[in-house]
Each structure stands twice: as structure tokens, then as C-alpha cells.
């Protein structure tokens, strides 16, 4: 594990660097939602998003920083209503050069600590059914598969299934 990498919560000042990270991930991995060049978010829009996340107690965005650049993130967005505010939806991505070094586990361990303190009792996500590394990480962190979204995505002209996975914390 590299020593010059650290994890921290994101702030609105990260707008430009976070947008750059998302665009780099769009190019590097087909396991996330957007194709290269499809992300049209402006820096101002990203700043507004980060301001909203910082203001909402039950929303979470952690970033991995290395030499002034952002190289990974994990976000959790909780439900907006009384009946689903205990549940948060997760997305995560780490730059290729930093994958497979235990950072995913670190990001999830921090997230679970935050969730327990914040009254979040369910963490949920969807993952492409052939994304073995991500599924390995989620299982390792205690997530269970709850179902399948059949043909929910189309990647490189092929239909892809996604698994629903969740972790209960209560
Ligand atoms: C998926 C992702 C977040 C995982 O993070 P990571 O830092 O690479 O994972 P880690 O090194 O922390 O590995 C954690 C665990 O995952 C499992 N794992 C790792 N590589 C694996 C593989 N190739 N196959 C199956 N399981 C694997 C292991 O259980 C490992 O823990 P262990 O080594 O103690 O047994 C990261 O690889 C990534 O961002 N990939 C590209 C984007 C992506 O797929 N995002 C998720 C979309 S749902």
C-alpha cells in the first residue's frame, strides 16, 4: 500500500479534481455507468453537488488523494424520505494504478464506520454481474446478493445483468 495515498471526506473545493477523476475513470473502466466523453457536468455543477453532499448529514463522499490528485472515491446517498432515509446507495471507483492494493477495503471500512454513527442501517449497490473484483470486495465486506437486474445495461453492444447487493448494519 503506497504511503503517499490518504483517504479523506470531499469538500466543494474538490470540484475540479473530482470531475477529472470521474472523467479518467470513464476512460479507464467499463464497469461504471458513463462512456468516455459522455460526462457533460460543468465544474460549477460539480461544486453544487459537493456543497449539497457536505450539507446533508446522511450523504457521504470519501476521496483517495495521491500527490495532490484524486485517485479514487466512494459515495453513499441516503434516501430522501422518512421511510428510506436509513438506506444509502453506494458507488465507488479507484484509478487502475491503485486497484488491488487494499484501498477498496479501506474505503468501505471507513464508510461502514460512518454509517453506524449516522443511523444508516442499510447499504446497497448494484454491480455488473461479471465484475468479479468488485463483487469479491463487496462479499468480503459482508454484502449479500439480493437479486438480478436482467439486461439492465448495454455495454459494447451487449446486454449486461447487474446484481443488487446490500449490507444490513442493525
Ligand atoms: C472494485 C474496486 C472498488 C475494488 O477496490 P480494490 O482496491 O481494487 O480492492 P481491494 O484491493 O481492496 O480488494 C478487496 C477484496 O476484494 C476481493 N478481490 C480483489 N481482487 C479480486 C478479484 N480479482 N477477484 C475476486 N475478488 C477480488 C478480495 O476479497 C479482496 O480482499 P482480500 O485480498 O483481503 O481477500 C476497484 O477495483 C475499482 O474501482 N475498479 C474499477 C471500477 C469498479 O469496478 N467500480 C465498482 C463498480 S460497482
Query: Would you give per-residue pLDDT tens digits along the chain (170 residues)?
Result: 677 999 999 999 999 999 999 999 999 999 999 999 999 999 999 999 999 999 998 999 999 999 999 999 999 999 999 999 999 999 999 999 999 999 999 999 999 999 999 999 999 999 999 999 999 999 999 999 999 999 999 999 999 999 999 999 99
Q: Which residues pair with 122 in a beta bridge?
A: 87, 168
Contact 14, 63 (CB under 8 A): yes
- The pLDDT of residue 2 is 73
Domain residue limits, the chain: 5-168
Please determine, looking at this structure, whether the domain spanning 5-168 carries the CATH number 3.20.20.10.
Answer: no
Between the CA of 93 and the centroid of ligand 1 the distance, in Å, is 10
- The pLDDT of residue 3 is 77
Ligand 1, atom nearest to 108 Cα? 12
Instruction: Give the number of other Cβ atoms within 10 Å of residue 67's Cβ.
Output: 8
- The pLDDT of residue 146 is 98
Ligand 1 pocket by Cβ (under 6 Å) = 29, 31-32, 92-94, 99-105, 127, 131-134, 136-137, 140
d(C-alpha 145, C-alpha 142), whole Å: 10
Amino acid at each position: 500500500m503506497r504511503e503517499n495515498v490518504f483517504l479523506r471526506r470531499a469538500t466543494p473545493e474538490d470540484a475540479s479534481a473530482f470531475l477529472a477523476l470521474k472523467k479518467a475513470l470513464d476512460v479507464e473502466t467499463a464497469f461504471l455507468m458513463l462512456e468516455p466523453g459522455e460526462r457533460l457536468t460543468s465544474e460549477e455543477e460539480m461544486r453544487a453537488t459537493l456543497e449539497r453532499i457536505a450539507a446533508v448529514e446522511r450523504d457521504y463522499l470519501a476521496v483517495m488523494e495521491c500527490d495532490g490528485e484524486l485517485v479514487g472515491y466512494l459515495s453513499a446517498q441516503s434516501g430522501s424520505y422518512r421511510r428510506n432515509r436509513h438506506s444509502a446507495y453506494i458507488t465507488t471507483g479507484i484509478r487502475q494504478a491503485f486497484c488491488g492494493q487494499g484501498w477498496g477495503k479501506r474505503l468501505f471500512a471507513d464508510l461502514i464506520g460512518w454509517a453506524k454513527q449516522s443511523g444508516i442501517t442499510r447499504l446497497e449497490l448494484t454491480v455488473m454481474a461479471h465484475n468479479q473484483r468488485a463483487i469479491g470486495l463487496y462479499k468480503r465486506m459482508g454484502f449479500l446478493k439480493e437479486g438480478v437486474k436482467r439486461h439492465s445495461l448495454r455495454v459494447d453492444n451487449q446486454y449486461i445483468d447487474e446484481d443488487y447487493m446490500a449490507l444490513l448494519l442493525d
